[in-house]
Amino acid sequence: MAIDRVAVLGGGLMGSGIAESVAGAGLSVVVRDVDATAVEAARGRIEGSLGRARERGKIDDAAHAEILGRIAFTDRLEDLADADLVVEAVPENAELKAAILGEVAGIVSEDALIASNTSSIPIAQLASWTQSPQRVLGLHFFSPVPVMMLVEVNSVPTATATPQAMNALMLNPPVNQ
């Protein structure tokens, strides 16, 4: 399975860092947050982080523009429909995560992987609340995401394709900032 387009649900500290890292790895990414104010805050976090990376000489002007050019922002779930991988990074609340994962599962293709960035909720529990538990996995990124370059991958035992797909995604590591 090829992963070309990634969606990130939530543009807070973790979500914006995940989106920046994915774009830095050369993939197209869309960040979705709840409203226009939250979307603009996510954009500001990413622009600020990339600006600091440029000031420190970690990236040049061209890389800065390329990375930003790979990131789209939205407040509409429908804009995630063509994602190959969706990474949920909403607040650590099981009911909220289950609801958003279930809703996204009905929007993206049946082949798309759906991941949670949870650090405390069992992935099997979240997966059991969706129609397709075999395509749900955990991607626990460590903060600050663009600097740490460390991801813990968890999947339910029946999901044989998900670890291979995630390995493929991680072959293009992001720029270490």
pLDDT (tens, 9 = 90+) of the chain, 177 residues, equals 689 999 999 999 999 999 999 999 999 999 999 999 999 999 999 999 999 999 999 999 999 999 999 999 999 999 999 999 999 999 999 999 989 988 998 999 999 999 999 888 888 888 888 888 888 888 888 888 888 777 878 776 555 555 555 554 554 444 444
Residue 94 lies in a domain: yes
Give the separation between CA 110 and CA 150, rounded to whole angstroms.
28
**What is the model's pLDDT at position 176?**
47
Facing residues of 115 across strands?
87, 137
Q: What is the span of the domain harbouring residue 141?
A: 5-170
**What is the model's pLDDT at position 156?**
67
Given 54, 58, 64, 140, the catalytic residue: 140
Residue 176 lies in a domain: no
**What is the model's pLDDT at position 7?**
98
**What is the model's pLDDT at position 45?**
97
- Asked if residue 21 lies in contact with residue 145, where contact means CB atoms within 8 angstroms, the answer is yes
**What is the model's pLDDT at position 21?**
93
pTM listed for this prediction: 0.87
**What is the model's pLDDT at position 164?**
53
Residue 175 lies in a domain: no
Residue 93 lies in a domain: yes
Count CA within 13 A, CB hemisphere, residue 67. 30
Q: Of 127, 135, 122, which is closest to residue 164 (Cα–Cα)?
A: 135
Residue 54 lies in a domain: yes
**What is the model's pLDDT at position 114?**
92
Active site residue 140: yes
The domain that contains 35 carries what CATH number? 3.40.50.720
Residue 97 lies in a domain: yes
Residue 19 lies in a domain: yes
The total number of structural domains that make up the chain: 1
